A and B are shown apart, each in its own frame.
Chain A
Amino acid sequence: MHEGASRTRVLLVEDDPNIVDLIRANLSVRGYDTLVCADADLALRLLETEAPDMVLLDLMLPDADGMELCRQIRERSAVAVIVVSARGGERDKVTALNMGADDYMTKPFSVEELLARITATLRRTRVPPTPESTALTIAAGDVVIDLGRQQVTRGGEAIHLTPTEFALLRELATNRGKLLTHAHLLRHVWGPAYQTETEYLRVYIRRLRSKLGDDGAQLILTAPRAGYRFAPD
Chain B
Amino acid sequence: MLEVTGLAVGFGEEQTLERVDLRVNAGEIVALAGEPGAGKTALVRCLSGDLQPSSGTIRVDGRVLSTGLRAAEHHGIAVVWQDLALCETLDVAGNLLLGLESSAQTLSTNRFYARAAGILADLGLTSLAVAAPASSLSGSQRGLLALAMALARAPRILLLDEPTAAMGASETAELEQLLARKRDEGLAVLLATRDIDQMFRLADRIVVLRQGRTQDELDPQDSHPDDVAALLAGGSVDGSARRQLIRLHGLADSLAVADPSSGLALIVSALAAALNLERSSISVVRADTAQTPAERVIVDGPNWLVPVTGPAGTSALITIRREQHAPPSRDELDLLGLYAGYTAAALERQEAEAAQLEAEALRRSRELQRQFLSRLSHELRTPLTAIRGYASSLLAPDIVWDEESQQRFLETIASESARLGRLVEDLLDFSAIDSGVMRMQLDWCQPELVIDAAIACLPDAWRERVVVGQQAGLPPIWADHDRLEQVFVNLLSNALRHNDDNARVTVTSAQRSDGSIELLVSDNGAGLPPELRRSPFDSTRRQRSATAGAGLGLSITRGIVAAHGGHIELLDTNVGATFRIVLPLEAPLPADSASRPVEEDEMASASA
A22 at the interface (CB under 8 A from B): yes
28 A-B pairs within 8 Å (CB atoms) are namely A16-B382, A16-B386, A18-B390, A18-B416, A19-B382, A19-B385, A21-B412, A22-B412, A25-B409, A26-B396, A26-B399, A29-B399, A29-B401, A30-B398, A30-B399, A62-B545, A86-B382, A86-B385, A87-B378, A107-B385, A108-B389, A109-B388, A110-B388, A110-B389, A110-B392, A111-B393, A112-B392, A202-B109
Chain B residues at the A interface, C-beta cutoff of 8 Å: 106, 108-110, 374, 377-378, 381-382, 384-390, 392-393, 396, 398-399, 401, 405, 408-409, 412, 416, 544-546
A60 at the interface (CB under 8 A from B): yes
CB pair A107–B390 under 8 Å, yes or no, is no
Interchain nearest-CB distance for A18 vs B (Å): 4
CB pair A25–B393 under 8 Å, yes or no, is yes
Task: Report the separation of the CA atoms of residues A30 and B399 in the bound assembly, to the nearest whole angstrom.
Answer: 8
Name the B residues within 8 Å of A18 (CB-CB): 382, 386, 390, 412, 416
Where chain B touches its partner, the secondary structure class is helix
Name the B residues within 8 Å of A170 (CB-CB): none
Name the A residues within 8 Å of B109 (CB-CB): 202
CB pair B392–A111 under 8 Å, yes or no, is yes
Closest to A112 in B: B392
Interchain nearest-CB distance for B339 vs A (Å): 53
Q: Given the interface contacts A21-B408, A26-B393, A86-B378, does A108 sit within 8 Å of B110 by beta carbon? A: no
Task: Report the separation of the CA atoms of residues A129 and B185 in the bound assembly, to the nearest whole angstrom.
Answer: 59
Task: Report the separation of the CA atoms of residues A65 and B124 in the bound assembly, to the nearest whole angstrom.
Answer: 32
CB pair A112–B384 under 8 Å, yes or no, is no
Task: Report the separation of the CA atoms of residues A111 and B409 in the bound assembly, to the nearest whole angstrom.
Answer: 13
CB pair A62–B544 under 8 Å, yes or no, is yes
Interchain nearest-CB distance for B385 vs A (Å): 4
CB pair B544–A60 under 8 Å, yes or no, is yes
Name the B residues within 8 Å of A23 (CB-CB): 389
Task: Report the separation of the CA atoms of residues A216 and B108 in the bound assembly, to the nearest whole angstrom.
Answer: 13
CB pair B393–A87 under 8 Å, yes or no, is no
CB pair B378–A60 under 8 Å, yes or no, is yes
Task: Report the separation of the CA atoms of residues A18 and B408 in the bound assembly, to the nearest whole angstrom.
Answer: 10
Name the B residues within 8 Å of A25 (CB-CB): 393, 405, 409
Name the A residues within 8 Å of B545 (CB-CB): 62
Interchain nearest-CB distance for A183 vs B (Å): 18
CB pair B377–A87 under 8 Å, yes or no, is yes
CB pair B389–A22 under 8 Å, yes or no, is yes
CB pair A107–B382 under 8 Å, yes or no, is yes
CB pair A206–B544 under 8 Å, yes or no, is no
A106-147 CB mask vs B (1 if < 8 Å, else 0) is: 011111101000000000000000000000000000000000
CB pair B405–A206 under 8 Å, yes or no, is no
Interchain nearest-CB distance for B288 vs A (Å): 45
CB pair A111–B396 under 8 Å, yes or no, is yes
Most buried by B among A16, A23, A25: A25
Interchain nearest-CB distance for A114 vs B (Å): 8
A166-178 CB mask vs B (1 if < 8 Å, else 0) is: 0000000000000
Task: Report the separation of the CA atoms of residues A98 and B387 in the bound assembly, to the nearest whole angstrom.
Answer: 31
Q: Given the interface contacts A30-B399, A62-B546, does A22 sit within 8 Å of B378 by beta carbon? A: no
Task: Report the separation of the CA atoms of residues A145 and B364 in the bound assembly, to the nearest whole angstrom.
Answer: 51
A89-112 CB mask vs B (1 if < 8 Å, else 0) is: 000000000000000000111111
Name the B residues within 8 Å of A224 (CB-CB): 106
Task: Report the separation of the CA atoms of residues A112 and B412 in the bound assembly, to the nearest whole angstrom.
Answer: 19
Name the A residues within 8 Å of B108 (CB-CB): 202, 222
Task: Report the separation of the CA atoms of residues A111 and B385 in the bound assembly, to the nearest whole angstrom.
Answer: 10
Q: Given the interface contacts A25-B393, A108-B384, A108-B389, does A86 sit within 8 Å of B412 by beta carbon? A: no
Interchain nearest-CB distance for A150 vs B (Å): 27
A195-233 CB mask vs B (1 if < 8 Å, else 0) is: 000000010001000000000000000101000000000
Name the A residues within 8 Å of B544 (CB-CB): 60, 62
Considering the complex of A and B, which 6 residue pairs feature the smallest CB-CB distances, nearest first? A110-B392, A108-B385, A18-B386, A86-B381, A107-B385, A108-B388
A1-40: which residues lie under 8 A (CB-CB) from chain B? Answer: 15-16, 18-19, 21-23, 25-26, 29-30
CB pair B381–A111 under 8 Å, yes or no, is no
Task: Report the separation of the CA atoms of residues A224 and B544 in the bound assembly, to the nearest whole angstrom.
Answer: 43
Name the A residues within 8 Å of B396 (CB-CB): 26, 111-112
Name the B residues within 8 Å of A19 (CB-CB): 382, 385-386, 389
Name the A residues within 8 Å of B393 (CB-CB): 22, 25-26, 111
Interchain nearest-CB distance for A39 vs B (Å): 11
CB pair B110–A22 under 8 Å, yes or no, is no
A59-80: which residues lie under 8 A (CB-CB) from chain B? Answer: 60, 62
Closest to A210 in B: B110
Name the A residues within 8 Å of B382 (CB-CB): 16, 18-19, 86, 107
CB pair A108–B546 under 8 Å, yes or no, is no
Name the A residues within 8 Å of B412 (CB-CB): 18, 21-22
Task: Report the separation of the CA atoms of residues A26 and B386 in the bound assembly, to the nearest whole angstrom.
Answer: 12
Name the B residues within 8 Å of A206 (CB-CB): 110
